[in-house]
Amino acid sequence: LQTRLQAGQGYGNTLSCVLTVYRNESVAGFFKGMSFPLASIAVYSSVVFGVFSNTQRLLSHFRHGDPAQAPVLADVALASIVAGFISVGIGTPVDLVKIRLQMQTQPYIEANIKPKPTVPGFPAYRGPIHCFRTVLQKEGIAGIYRGMGAMLLRDVPGYCLYFIPYTFFCSWINPDGCISPSPSSIWLAGGVAGAISWVTATPMDVVKSRLQADGVHLNKYKGTLDCILQSYRNEGLKVFFRGVTVNAVRGFPTSSAMFLGYELSLKAMKRDQNESNP
């Protein structure tokens, strides 16, 4: 729904998008492009959380001489920025394949640009591997990383507004602070942080989605700035908030589950390590 609302045409609002997708593509339409993100989400999440936590430990070591020392706000912010930069290298190709698969049967508005031979309404790609291979052959590495600039502008501040609110809400909700937060504290803090992060990231998420969807039928945008200017000129400021409701709704449960899994896994590994090394 998020991709269709942000990069598609003819969807008035979220409910209209849901009904249109179901009417035209049945239930299967809601799961297009799912396999590639599903196959890579474990690696992506482990890299992001691993980079974030290890950067925090490194900064605490240099600042206090103790990696286990609770990080200050500046350390959390810097670790979030590093995690955002690293995440883009993995996330851009995954998002591109997902969006191309989701948008390949969507109609386009005629423009003063010669369309590609692909006929709208018929699939351009047979699956995620075929999509990745086709983009790589026709557009090269630059094609695989199309939208990377917009994704950097989305994820670097986005992860700051992901990890910093989580740390703050954990310490506020849990009386013991963030050293050993309770599962309920993790769930609530993670959900609120996810909703904040995704809502504030929506404008650049719109730009990224449009850049990555571009190329299925038309090559409309020359780059991030051109996409921003064209989108604003044609549809006004409100275009940058398309899909904000979907982002907010999905941001809470996915982030709650992500942080809960991360914190509980850390607790389990620390417990096993203490038991094996009394």
User: Does the structure show a pLDDT above 70 at 136?
Assistant: yes
Is residue 2, in this structure, part of any structural domain at all? no
What's the 3-state SS for the chain?
CHHHHHHCCCCCCHHHHHHHHHHHHCHHHHHCCCHHHHHHHHHHHHHHHHHHHHHHHHHHHHHHCCCCCCCCHHHHHHHHHHHHHHHHHHHHHHHHHHHHHHHCCCCCCCCCCCCCCCCCCCCCCCCHHHHHHHHHHHHHHHHHCCCHHHHHHHHHHHHHHHHHHHHHHHHHHCCCCCCCCCHHHHHHHHHHHHHHHHHHHHHHHHHHHHHHHCCCCCCCCCCHHHHHHHHHHHHCHHHHHCCHHHHHHHHHHHHHHHHHHHHHHHHHHHHHHHHHCC
Q: Are residues 130 and 154 in the same domain?
A: no
Q: Are residues 118 and 154 in the same domain?
A: no
The predicted-structure confidence for 161-191, as pLDDT tens digits, reads as follows 999 999 888 888 776 544 567 888 889 999 9
Which pLDDT does position 269 carry in this prediction?
80
Which pLDDT does position 202 carry in this prediction?
94
The predicted-structure confidence for 62-89, as pLDDT tens digits, reads as follows 887 777 777 788 999 999 999 999 999 9
Q: Check: CB of residue 10 under 8 Å from CB of residue 242.
A: no
Residue appearing with tokens 């409309």: 220
Is residue 7, in this structure, part of any structural domain at all? no
Q: Are residues 126 and 165 in the same domain?
A: no
Q: Check: CB of residue 123 under 8 Å from CB of residue 75.
A: no
Is residue 10, in this structure, part of any structural domain at all? no
Q: Are residues 211 and 249 in the same domain?
A: yes
Q: Are residues 109 and 163 in the same domain?
A: no
Query: For the domain that residue 169 is a member of, what is the CATH number?
Result: 1.50.40.10
Taking residues 203-215, report their average pLDDT.
89
The predicted-structure confidence for 230-241, as pLDDT tens digits, reads as follows 999 999 999 999
Q: Are residues 51 and 167 in the same domain?
A: no
Q: Are residues 116 and 218 in the same domain?
A: no
Q: Are residues 67 and 159 in the same domain?
A: no
| C-alpha to C-alpha distance for 92 and 104, rounded to whole angstroms | 18
Which pLDDT does position 112 carry in this prediction?
41
Single-letter code of the amino acid located at 196: I
Q: Are residues 154 and 252 in the same domain?
A: yes
Which pLDDT does position 111 carry in this prediction?
41
Q: Are residues 273 and 152 in the same domain?
A: yes
Is residue 226, in this structure, part of any structural domain at all? yes
- The pTM of this model reads 0.81
Taking residues 34-52, report their average pLDDT.
83
User: Does the structure show a pLDDT above 50 at 125?
Assistant: yes
Q: Are residues 260 and 196 in the same domain?
A: yes
Is residue 1, in this structure, part of any structural domain at all? no
- Which is nearest to 80 in space by CA: 53, 42, 111? 53
Q: Is 127 exposed, middle or buried (0-12, 13-18, 19+ CB in 10 A)?
A: middle
Final residue of a domain: which of 145, 161, 191?
A: 145
Is residue 135, in this structure, part of any structural domain at all? yes
Domain that holds residue 240: 147-277
The predicted-structure confidence for 21-41, as pLDDT tens digits, reads as follows 777 777 776 767 677 677 778
User: Does the structure show a pLDDT above 60 at 103?
Assistant: yes
Domains in the chain, number: 2
Is residue 8, in this structure, part of any structural domain at all? no
Q: Are residues 122 and 152 in the same domain?
A: no
